[in-house]
Amino acid sequence: MLQTLSELKCLDSSIYHLPTLDIAKKLLGCILIKETTEGTAAGIIVETEAYIGPEDQASHSFQNRRTKRTEAMFGRPGTTYMYTMHTHNLFNVVTGKIDQPEAVLIRAVEPIYNIDLIRKRRSKITKDTHLTNGPGKLTKALGIDMADYGHDLTHSPLWIASYNTPTSEVVSGPRIGIDNAGDAKDYPWRFWLKHNKYVSK
DNA sequence: TTTAAGATGTACT
DNA sequence: GTACATCTTAAAT
């Protein structure tokens, strides 16, 4: 648990120009911070998934499908792509150059700052490990919503900071929840910190 | 304008 | 294991 965020340094924008799969790995161990009128909360990113639009049947931007919804994926790397799934908002970091619709879905974080606010926002949850271990859970816990669509992640109120190099090993495997995505469902484009208790199941 | 499906989460059997 | 909440997008009528 951090007592202050003042020591944190915003992730350098050059990282977002790396290949998408590299970014998915490098974001692990970084800190995602959201500031709201309610307060500021933050978590360590412990699980990600890569979506590489043109060649990825599981992506909303498969074969460069460009619609009002996917527009942000075609924008600058280092901005956000948000998607509403049933009652939940899912948060992605846009990667790839302009007009290359690629993104990294943040699937889970480990609460590290203002966990009281996170518990309040997830009031029905009793176990801390269940507060943020899913893509819809962490957005609710941190107060991220559709108003953050297209936001630049190098600026307040929503930003990503570098942190300690992850102590645990990065492992990969197939992505989750895309059973009808043909061959793409088997691509090992999900990355997480081994043995971390806050990774989704 | 109507309909169907979804990168999920929670409650319940 | 199954049901369903609840809403937007996008495709079909």
Instruction: Write down the pLDDT at residue A201.
Output: 87
- CATH classification for the domain delimited by A9-193, as one of 3.30.200.20, 3.40.50.1820, 3.30.70.1430, 3.10.300.10: 3.10.300.10
Which residues does A126 contact at the CB level (< 8 Å), separation at least 6? none
Average pLDDT over residues A82-110: 97
pLDDT tens figures, A112-152 = 999 999 999 999 999 999 999 999 999 999 999 999 999 99
**Continuous H helices in chain A:** 20-26, 115-121, 135-142
**pLDDT (tens digit per residue) in A170-183:** 999 999 999 989 99
Where do runs of H (alpha helix) occur along A49-183? 115-121, 135-142
Q: Which two tokens stand for residue A124?
A: 């029905």
* CA A91 – CA A144 distance, rounded (Å): 8
In this predicted structure, what is the pLDDT of residue A178? 94
Q: Does residue A167 carry a pLDDT above 90?
A: no
Backbone angles phi, psi at A101, to 5 degrees: -80, 80
Residue-wise pLDDT for A11-20, tens only, equals 999 999 999 9
Q: For chain A, give the mean pLDDT.
A: 95
Domain locations along chain A: 9-193
Quote the pLDDT of residue A164. Answer: 78
CA distance A82 to A12: 22
Indicate if CB(A190) is under 7 A from strand B: no
Q: Whole-number Å distance, CA A118 to C1' B12?
A: 26
For strand C, the positions having any atom within 7 A of a protein Cβ are 5-11
pLDDT at A187 over 90: yes
